[in-house]
Amino acid sequence: MGDSLYEMSVFSKVVAAGSLSAAARDLGISTAVVSRRLAALEARLGVRLVNRTTRRLALTDEGAGYHEACTRILGEIEDADAAAAARRVEPQGLLKVALPASFGLKHIAPLIPPFTARFPKIELALSLSDRVVNVIEEGYDLAIRIGELGDSSLAARKLAPNRRVVCASPRYLETRPALRQPDDLLHHNCLTTTDLQMTWEYQGPDGKRGTVRVAGHYACDNWEVLREWALAGLGVALKSTWDVRRHLADGTLVSLLPGYDFSSEVAIYAIYPHRRHLPAKTRVFIDYLSESFGPEPYWDRL
């Protein structure tokens, strides 16, 4: 196993460096040793990984697939080593965290006192805002994001699901048509974000996915405002249960369209610049939030 991992690391270095001689310089060994290790790896696998020419190296199709696997495996080993080493270090230092305003106020701020009691050497600087921060350029150690994650160079860890419900106040529903299926939303005033029209995605009771293009008279990019508008009877809102759990419990908001899941691929994530050599202060904070929320967060255990 040791030789296999070493050959994988040599192969990865060859690909990254672009030549056997450059890889040899980076590894501090001779070009002949690099060549022998690469040849031994190809012989063991029974495939050619690299086409060698006088000017450059080119990955074969098999080599490209194997390189992708090598990168993942070697990265996971490095992560495991770094995590083990980090556990020997007492978490300390300034931790800068960006949080969505309403979620941070409701569900993270109350967790901070017991966290600081457990890790007294960590200093916390929280920023609560609904804008999407640039974690690297603005110097944050991590940020909490709610929604779908696009392609990014940032690492991410899912902290909790983000269940969403279509809801409205009893007062609004008194004089409005019944809602039995998502297309019935076309006949309702829907509260939207930024634009007066938007698409809501859902999964039906039969497992099939669909979309409905909703519209209304009122839009706002602040989640708390949309919740207050729904409570005031201005329309139908698509809200996260972490934001409206109390109102669903006391009946001031009514969950609509049972059997239809509007959560799509959204979730609550911790995102941070990279996974390798994650500082102890960042790791323990992410672990703490994950443990506090659990696979079924407390706000969904109504």
Q: Which domains does the chain have, with CATH numbers?
A: 2-86 (1.10.10.10), 93-162+266-300 (3.40.190.10), 164-256 (3.40.190.290)
Encoded amino acid at 155, one letter: A
Q: What pLDDT, on a 0 to 100 scale, did the predictor assign at position 89?
A: 67
Is the CB of residue 181 less than 8 Å from the CB of residue 269? no
Q: What pLDDT, on a 0 to 100 scale, did the predictor assign at position 247?
A: 95
Exposure string for 131-154, b = 16+ CB within 10 A, e = fewer: eebebeeeebbbbbbbeeeeeeeb
Pairing status of strand 267-272 against strand 197-203: unpaired
What's the pTM?
0.67
Q: What pLDDT, on a 0 to 100 scale, did the predictor assign at position 4?
A: 82
Q: What pLDDT, on a 0 to 100 scale, did the predictor assign at position 275?
A: 61
Task: Name the H helices within the chain.
Answer: 2-17, 20-27, 31-45, 61-86, 101-103, 112-118, 170-174, 223-231, 241-250, 280-293
Cα gap 38→220, rounded to integer Å: 59
Average pLDDT of adjacent 10-residue blocks, the chain of 302 residues: 80 86 87 90 90 76 88 80 68 93 93 95 92 84 85 81 94 90 94 86 89 92 91 95 94 94 85 78 93 90 70
Cα gap 255→240, rounded to integer Å: 11
